[in-house]
Structure 1
Amino acid sequence: MSGLTGALGLFTVVPVRAAPELRRSDAVAALRWFPLVGAAVGAAAALPAVAVLHWAPRATSVGAVAAIALLALLTRGLHLDGLADTADGLGARAPATEALEIMRRSDIGPFGVLAVVFAVLIDVSALTSLHGGVWRPAAALAVAAATGRVAVVLAAHRRVPAARTSGFGAHVAGSMSPVTLILSTAAVLGAGALLAWSVDASVVGWPVAQAVALAVTTGFRLHTTRRLGGVTGDVFGALVEIGTALTLAGLAVT
């Protein structure tokens, strides 16, 4: 797989033919494309909100709900599932091995339900609160989705271990060089400023909101690493959802 097709196959519903077994090199290459894929998926998911703003501007909340629902469908709910599992594992206040076992289970507990509900509510309310042209929701959701995914790239830097010996987290943990982290972050923040300018939003406020979201997700990653002994695919999913929600909230208040 190339990095782009691998990212589409791993992180979206796009029907990409996958290799029989995921190799570390494929997973790492896909992760490098993760923010760009997120931006594209976020922009596509926002189209219902754009259409509602154009045809029925009084029903912005309907468009926001449809956009966030479509984003979840386009990503197969992977990141929401990771958020729920991570919340259940951390909420149990159990030793790392037991917390990881809780996260591995297919069921969802009360902490997971609350985490998903709050994340979706923040997404919808923030998207509803955006004011400006009809294309602003598309720009905002693209920026937020890319920011949440670059938080995962940052969490895969060389000093962060994997909490498990198998799974996507184990494949990519410790794989990103400092140069990759800097370039990815600069590209996402620069794209945020450019998209803000394109929709007549705050060219300073949008990147600041992104930077704050990345700072918070980094703090969350430090906590999960200390608590679980490393990162997992579920933690990556939680970072995506937390980063996306915080960025959208920041864009709504700037």
Structure 2
Amino acid sequence: MNAFFTALSYLTRIPAPISTERDDWVKSPCHYPLVGLILGGVLLIFDLAVSSLFPSLVRGALLTVLWIYLTRGIHLDGLMDTADGFGSNGSLERTLEVMRDSRVGSMGVMAAFSVLLLKFSVLASLATDAIWIALVAAPVAGRLALILSIRLFPYAKKDEIGLGMKKNLTMRPLIYALIVGVGVLFLTTGWFGSLLLAGTLAVVWIMGEMSRGRLRGMTNDTYGATVEITEVVVLLLCLWYGGARL
């Protein structure tokens, strides 16, 4: 349970006991899809409370803001750093230096604006029955993409905890995470879950190969970017599947 609480406190603002033990941190990734399900559940409950009070545009904006708040924007920060680093067109050392810089550049601002605009517009356009599916599927798919990235691609830094997470994501915890993540996608969407899974795998592969080619592996920032892009892709697929409210 300590590993689960560590995952919950790291990925969200939802109150949970915080562990300082290294073992709890390195064992936490297998719980990421479950954390995504909890995050989706909170968003769903909030939407149920406000859906009858506000028009669709305000509803979409409120959901987007709450989504950022609940995750503390950590994945969005990774997306901005990744966009700045990849947009610098410099050497490996220069790219990592730009990504470590706490200041946000123009590429990072444009990336964040684009992702948030897409999330808002999709959430404002989805019909009620489709938005409830999207609010569960997108956070789960994003965290599923995160553990797949950790498992499938090398870690570029020599960070002890980051390397430990990859080392401890062995077959048994990976299978548990896949059962939760893939199971939720199929239970909430039926056969359409296969398309959502395909979209998730496509983002993981593209981001992983780009990171391997540019940085010789994934970093915490590219993990965050992968989560954000996966969520957008899944939301867009849900919009295509569920239809828009025009």
TM-score by length of 2: 0.88
Map 1:100-111 onto structure 2 (within 5 A). Answer: 100-111=96-107
Higher helix share: 2
Q: CA RMSD in A?
A: 2.2
Tell me what 1:187 maps to: 180
Equivalent-residue separation in structure 2 for 1:103 and 1:167 (angstroms): 19
* 1:144 counterpart SS class: helix
* 1:204 counterpart SS class: helix
Unaligned 5+ segments in structure 2 are 242-246
**1:82 aligns to 2:78 (yes or no):** yes
Structure 2 counterpart of 1:209, which letter? L
1:235–1:171 distance in 2 versus 1, CA, 3 Å? farther
Structure 2 counterpart of 1:212, which letter? G
Residues 80-111 of structure 1: CA deviation (Å, up to 9, x unaligned):
00110011111111111211111111111111
Residues 27-50 of structure 1: CA deviation (Å, up to 9, x unaligned):
232111111111211221244433
Structure 1 counterpart of 2:133, which letter? A
Structure 2 counterpart of 1:83, which letter? L
Unaligned 5+ segments in structure 1 are 197-202
Structure 1 position 186, deviation (Å)? 4.5
Identity rate of aligned residues, in percent? 31
Residues 202-230 of structure 1: CA deviation (Å, up to 9, x unaligned):
x2224312321322232211211221011
One of 80, 84, 109 as aligned partner of 1:113: 109
Structure of greater relative contact order (alpha carbons < 8 Å, 6+ residues apart): 2
Q: Work out whether residues 87 and 115 of structure 1, in 8 Å CA contact, stay in contact via their aligned partners in 2.
A: yes
Structure 1 position 164, deviation (Å)? 1.4
1:215–1:182 distance in 2 versus 1, CA, 3 Å? farther
Structure 1 position 160, deviation (Å)? 2.7
Structure 1 position 180, deviation (Å)? 4.3
1:174–1:101 distance in 2 versus 1, CA, 3 Å? farther
Residues 161-194 of structure 1: CA deviation (Å, up to 9, x unaligned):
2211127534423542355445533432321221
TM-score by length of 1: 0.85
Structure 2 counterpart of 1:153, which letter? I
